[in-house]
């Protein structure tokens, strides 16, 4: 019997990368999992890979009505919701600040920050009603310390960290915990695109950029979606019932605070 037997978990951006890693670990721990993703077809594929009960829902975190529909679909299928993993996000287009457009700023903030707000707002009422719940927000190592050329992404991930702490205070009286996970460098489509862009900006080979990132990691390995998923499964469980407002770096030692 898994730690999450009988629980229902919703993961935004759950069709690939970190999101799918979270879905797989939550399902392996016994949870029924809702794979929510803007790509409905990929969400269906992801749900089909899980070992336990699963539901795929097309969800756009930028739209309030989509979040409300996601809550309804989850309750209609499983009757309740216990865990929300706010994972959906977009990567930045590395750019010197003087060249950064308002459109690029808005694109990143709209998904990475506003999307967390809208989805969380929709799920809080049922969590309050049942007097229990877990909210797990996926931030980043750059949601702890800044990094050049990606001010829009850094701002969005610091926003996630701040929302986590604020919500932890606000929702504690309802027995709802709120924590954030801060992934390091992963070899996913999102991270690979950023490495490609950084390499072009710096005029160097992509392998040199990957090597530089690796040199910053004490454990000398990149992280995997499963690494992040295992932390999410722990925070969703009763073993983490006395943890809230905390930030967890899963980054091989890049950040040490």
What is residue 178's predicted lDDT score, i.e. its pLDDT? 99
Q: Give the pLDDT means over successive 10-residue stretches in the chain (257 positions).
A: 92 98 98 98 98 98 98 98 98 95 98 98 98 98 94 98 98 98 91 85 89 95 97 98 98 95
What is residue 152's predicted lDDT score, i.e. its pLDDT? 98
SS (H, E, C) 29-61: CCCEEEEEECCHHHHHHHHHCCCCCEEEEECCC
Catalytic residues, which ones? 153
What is residue 85's predicted lDDT score, i.e. its pLDDT? 99
Residue ranges in the chain assigned as alpha helix (H): 17-28, 40-48, 64-78, 102-109, 115-130, 151-171, 189-202, 206-215, 225-236
What is residue 188's predicted lDDT score, i.e. its pLDDT? 84
What DSSP element (H or E) covers 8? strand 8-12
What is residue 189's predicted lDDT score, i.e. its pLDDT? 83
- Does domain 8-184+224-250 fall under CATH 3.40.50.720? My reply is yes
Nearest to 33 by CA among 56, 66, 15, 60: 56
- What are the boundaries of each domain within the chain? 8-184+224-250
Please tell me the distance from the alpha carbon of residue 224 to that of residue 214, in angstroms, as a whole number: 14
Starting at the edge strand found earlier in the chain, the sheet holding 176-183 runs 54-58, 32-37, 8-12, 83-86, 133-138, 176-183, 247-250
What is residue 72's predicted lDDT score, i.e. its pLDDT? 98
Please tell me the distance from the alpha carbon of residue 13 to that of residue 29, in angstroms, as a whole number: 19
What is residue 20's predicted lDDT score, i.e. its pLDDT? 98
Please tell me the distance from the alpha carbon of residue 97 to that of residue 137, in angstroms, as a whole number: 27
Task: Tell me if the pTM is above 0.85.
Answer: yes
56 Cβ neighbours under 8 A, 6+ residues apart? 34, 35, 36, 37, 40, 43, 44, 46, 47
What is residue 1's predicted lDDT score, i.e. its pLDDT? 52
Using CB atoms within 10 Å of the CB of residue 218, give its burial: 0 to 12 exposed, 13 to 18 middle, 19+ buried: exposed
């Amino acid at each position: 019997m898994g730690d999450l037997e009988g629980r229902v978990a919703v993961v935004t951006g759950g069709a690939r990368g970190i999101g799918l890693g979270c879905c797989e670990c939550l399902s392996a721990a016994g949870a029924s999992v809702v794979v929510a993703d803007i790509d409905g077809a990929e969400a269906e594929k992801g749900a089909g890979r899980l070992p336990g009960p699963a539901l795929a829902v097309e969800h756009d975190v930028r739209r309030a009505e989509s979040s409300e529909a996601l809550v309804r679909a989850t309750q209609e299928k499983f009757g309740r919701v216990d865990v929300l993993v706010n994972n959906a996000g977009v990567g930045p287009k590395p750019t010197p600040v003087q060249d950064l457009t308002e459109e690029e700023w808005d694109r990143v903030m709209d998904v990475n920050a506003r999307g967390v707000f809208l989805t969380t707002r929709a799920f809080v009422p049922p969590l309050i009603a049942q007097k229990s719940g877990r909210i797990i927000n996926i931030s980043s190592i750059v949601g702890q310390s800044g990094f050049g050329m990606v001010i829009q992404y850094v701002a969005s991930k610091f926003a996630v960290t701040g929302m986590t702490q604020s919500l932890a205070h606000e929702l504690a009286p309802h027995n709802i915990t709120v924590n954030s996970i801060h992934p390091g460098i992963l070899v996913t489509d999102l991270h690979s695109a950023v490495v490609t862009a950084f390499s072009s900006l710096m005029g160097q080979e992509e392998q040199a950029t990957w090597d530089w990132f690796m040199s910053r990691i004490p454990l000398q390995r990149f992280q995997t979606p499963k690494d992040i998923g295992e932390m999410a499964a722990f925070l969703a469980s009763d073993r983490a019932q006395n943890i809230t407002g905390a930030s967890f770096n899963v980054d091989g030692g890049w950040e040490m605070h």
